[in-house]
Amino acid sequence: MTEERKMTALDAPVGAGAEQPCELSSLIIPEYGENFNPSDEEMFEAQMQYEQEMQAQAKAEREAAPDFMQTVSMPELYEMVYPGKPPVIDNFLYPGTYLFVGAPKVGKSFMMGQIAYHVSSGTPMWNYAVRKGTVLYLALEDDYRRLQERLYRMFGTEATPDLFFSVASRSLNDGLLDQLNAFMNEHPETSLVIIDTLQKVREAEGETYSYARDYEIIAELKAFADRTGICLILVHHTRKQKSDDSFDRISGTNGLLGAADGAFVMYKNSRIEDDATIEVSGRDQPDKKYKLTRNKETLCWDFKGEDSSDFSEPPEPVIEAIGKFISEDNPSWEGTATELIEKLALDIKPNALSLKLNVNAGKLYNLYFVQYSSKRTHKAKIIEASLICVVTFPPLFFILLLLLEKPACVDISVKGFRVAVLAPLILIFTYATISNCRRRMNANSKAV
């Protein structure tokens, strides 16, 4: 009778254990041995690891269901921290996929050459700061001779080694994305790709285009840009029909603009005028109008002014206070939300501060060059904030560049003076900038 009872207990467990697979017992009661005496930190890490394994197993089971839909709750969404997406050109060009639209011969290609040159060289464009990166310009309606003549007219002999051109590529359905991925693998510092024009890379579909197909084409290119974190500009044409809304003049269906992150529309009041306007509308920037005029000597577009919409983001005093707190004199900080509140005398609850930092991590990075992260220990959630390395260029540096690049603009044209005086000044400035940058990096690495 006893033997029968034992066998019954083994074959049919009862209670809560009836639904637990026996292979999980090793996770629930690990064999540590008689001499195992864990610290609080080790116990916390073991518990966290166990919970993560259970959550991963439950998630895998849910995702395996044929009717599974990925969802996140609002608290889970607020716990997510997304890295900053600093603009490629401040107040003008951001990471993402953008249409750049204009009538034929309005000056789009010169504008693309100007953007490409400034991004690849890292020099300011108009009065906007530029973040340097490698640029790929697919000038598919040009040849190399025309490119050479245009760039020489615009920038003279001052070439930049991080600007690459191609006048031929595959179409989107014939391996274009493979070509772009191969270039990105070879040049990981790429921040901008220009396709001039979109029509050259989309497959032939006759004279009619559908909303669904237009949306699908841009969505494919946008997926590439989002995955790589670059800015992708697609040069396109306007339709002949007039419209009060400049963006309604984009040739094709609304699927193009619907799938893109934004669009630039460039136009003139008269084809023979030297003045032009660029209207921009996008997800990551307010609507604006940029007033430009053509430089008759270089054919570059010079900046005249801008008109912005009345929309502006509400102020974030807490984020501003943290951005000012993390500075060159205090390049890093680590502690709990409560400690940070006490340090800055903030009127906010610790949990609300953590959520605010999660949501505004990109703003901290873009506006104040502060890298935010957090980690959880067995005692508390720890906030980490550090100043990233930023190379700044004071006005004196640009004056020196002006003297070196365009001596005709000033009264100094003697080569001996330029070499003997200006070159050493630039070397001194460069050394000071690199030293400052290394000091910040060392301070940040020590904090981490």
The DSSP 8-state label assigned to residue 315 in this structure reads P
In the prediction, which pLDDT does 186 show? 97
Sheet strands side by side (includes 301-308) = 163-166, 134-139, 190-196, 231-237, 96-102, 262-267, 275-282, 288-294, 301-308
Main-chain phi, psi angles of 346, to 5 degrees: -90, 145
Residues of the chain with pLDDT under 70: 1-36, 204-208, 309-312, 389-448
In the prediction, which pLDDT does 281 show? 92
Tokens of 248: 């309604």
Cα 276 to Cα 238, 291, 306, 420, distances in angstroms: 15, 6, 12, 42
In the prediction, which pLDDT does 444 show? 38
The DSSP 8-state label assigned to residue 107 in this structure reads S
In the prediction, which pLDDT does 376 show? 82
Cα distance between residue 186 and residue 189, in whole Å: 9
In the prediction, which pLDDT does 26 show? 46
In the prediction, which pLDDT does 206 show? 52
Cα distance between residue 58 and residue 36, in whole Å: 30
Answer whether 165's CB lies under 8 Å from 144's CB: yes
In the prediction, which pLDDT does 35 show? 63
Answer whether 81's CB lies under 8 Å from 374's CB: yes
**Is the pTM higher than 0.85?**
no
In the prediction, which pLDDT does 275 show? 95
Cα 214 to Cα 218, 259, 348, distances in angstroms: 7, 8, 47
Please provide the size of the chain in residues. 448
